[in-house]
Structure 1
């Protein structure tokens, strides 16, 4: 091994194992203010980008050999690394693939997250692209949208209203490490989110199949060069934008759509009835990313 490791954990019924396993449930996560990161990709990104929040890393001997870079990065950051048997790691989490981390669930307010994107000396530009999930309940969808927002270059993700717990293990796994790349704010009512991003000068676009604006048509007239082509009231995708995406089953209620500056639909060219939430969000975020760049 390239880094010193703690004594092997061999008892799958040990208290430590039970305590780690309990973090798969929301009550333990709230009580201890910690959550699980399962699998090599998520743990690798946690150690690289959020080492200060990582409490412990657990690996099987085989995983420590295979993912030596995780061991090295954790040791360099002063993170405690533990070797455990395959049975121990599986008792901690059946989805760990031999690699698991316990991470402190530090929270950030929406105001703090927006402030961090600005520099009082003008050295930073503020938020250009924000993804807002309004009462999104499915953990796989929420995690995938966080991953897509990261890939599209978004500055911030907000899980508004009664959305799923961002530290739900399936959400964390679905982000594939992007949870440690882009700030995520939770538990803010949608109306407060809209007010806050409006105060930052962002346009708020609601993604909904009933939208009066077609996403492709907005791309055609995005940017200063096409200002004269845009009809009054037509949003500019090149402007700083917060996209609002609704619940998987019922979308965005009329009251939520009314909070937005415009409602935009993703065109359906084929016979599909609709796009799922994560796919529609990815298309919209990349459209804004393309227009802004």
Structure 2
């Protein structure tokens, strides 16, 4: 909620709050009042319905839509972008958004049949990161890839079957380039026809007996590898 109230890319229009939550969060209500936001008290049952969760915090905000146009999200000279393609699980999409924010990425783009960034579980899994960096949404993957290239980004698929791994790419200096990492669903990864549209693909090396990494963990390794090399 603090992130929503401090959001520079949009505004909060109304705040629904239970009596208990109001007692626990007086400073948030003061901030909302100072911004001229309408505050409406609701029952616990209503808060649970609005927040789509079993254990609501008792605070629900009505905000502007989060996604920006592609060209706006990629304006300037982005160095690191996360692209989610066909990620249907909202928890994964929200967690990758949080990881991208933590790694200092410049934007997150939802494309293909990826879940809506406004999905309640996606919003909660992002823990406020949806309000920290530009978010764009376009079903047209070809449009997204063209926009990334136009912004000077190299498109890299995160693919467990790639021939080259992150360590080799780092040694060669490839991760220092402005990069748009493209992540697929945890269950199916990226389709071959999508990988064929990208500039290269890399895998996270597995040194133990684990068959694979989950999506959020793989995204964290990839994004931080690029963030580290770009800062050296």
2:98 alignment counterpart = 147
Structure 1 residues not aligned, in runs of 5+: 1-42, 119-125, 223-235
2:69 alignment counterpart = 109
Counting matched residue pairs gives 229
TM-score (norm 2): 0.92
1:16 alignment counterpart = none
2:189 alignment counterpart = 251
Q: CA RMSD in A?
A: 1.7
Q: Is the 8 A contact 1:51 1:74 kept in 2?
A: no
Q: Is the 8 A contact 2:138 2:144 kept in 1?
A: no
- The reply on whether 1:60 has 2:10 as its aligned counterpart is no
Deviation per residue, 1:29-60 (Å, 9 max, x gap): xxxxxxxxxxxxxx221111158431211222
- The reply on whether 1:136 has 2:94 as its aligned counterpart is no
1:34 alignment counterpart = none
Q: Is the 8 A contact 2:166 2:205 kept in 1?
A: yes
Structure 2 residues not aligned, in runs of 5+: none
Cα distance change of structure 1 residues 130 and 67 upon mapping to structure 2, 3 Å threshold: same
2:170 alignment counterpart = 219
TM-score (norm 1): 0.74
- The reply on whether 1:49 has 2:12 as its aligned counterpart is no
Alignment partners' CA distance in 1, 2:56 and 2:134: 24
- The reply on whether 1:238 has 2:196 as its aligned counterpart is no
Q: Is the 8 A contact 1:51 1:79 kept in 2?
A: no
Q: Is the 8 A contact 1:56 1:80 kept in 2?
A: yes
